[in-house]
Structure formats: structure tokens, C-alpha cells
């Protein structure tokens, strides 16, 4: 079925706000996946290294989003995709 006059609106971040832990996690993990697919190893290595440094800095300053950066890195490394227990 086709509706020529139909319109679809996408509300950015309607289910996932920009400062949420889930947004931080997916931003890190998916950024690495994108670079893996479209970039090269050196860029991937540098981005991974920088994300590790960022996570360490966040932990040092007592900010919780460091753990979500780390989770994104670990899930990328261990190829864990799909629902994770820490989001429930």
C-alpha cells in the first residue's frame, strides 16, 4: 500500500535524551563501529585511546558518564550487541 500524501516526522532524541547514559553509551559504541567499517585501523586506535582517556578523566572527577563510556568500549570490543542487563 502507498500513501503519496503521507508525512513522517522524526523527533530527535524523543526516546533518548542527549545527556542520558544510553545516549553516551551508544554514541561511543556506534562511533567505533562506524570507524571500523569506514575508516582505518590507526583512526580506530586513536579514537578508542581517546575514549579510554575520557572515561578515566570522568571517573577521576566523579562523573557517572565515565562508566557508560567504558561500557560502550567494552561492548564494542567483545561484540556485545542487543539488550544489555544494565539498561533495565
Residues 66 and 57: their CA atoms lie apart, in Å, by: 8
For residues 8-13, average pLDDT: 71
| Domain ranges (residues) in the chain | 21-80
pLDDT at position 16 is 58
Is the model more confident about 40 or about 81?
Answer: 40
pLDDT at position 1 is 81
pLDDT per position as a tens digit, 29-77: 999 999 999 999 999 999 999 999 999 999 999 998 899 999 999 999 9
Amino acid at each position: 500500500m502507498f500513501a503519496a500524501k503521507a508525512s513522517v516526522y522524526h523527533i530527535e532524541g524523543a526516546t533518548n535524551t542527549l545527556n542520558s547514559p544510553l545516549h553516551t553509551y551508544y554514541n561511543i559504541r556506534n562511533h567505533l563501529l562506524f570507524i571500523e567499517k569506514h575508516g582505518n585501523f590507526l583512526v580506530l586506535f586513536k579514537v578508542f585511546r581517546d575514549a579510554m582517556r575520557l572515561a578515566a578523566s570522568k571517573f577521576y572527577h566523579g562523573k557517572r558518564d565515565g562508566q557508560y563510556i567504558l561500557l560502550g568500549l567494552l561492548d564494542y570490543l567483545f561484540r556485545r550487541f542487543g539488550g544489555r542487563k544494565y539498561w533495565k
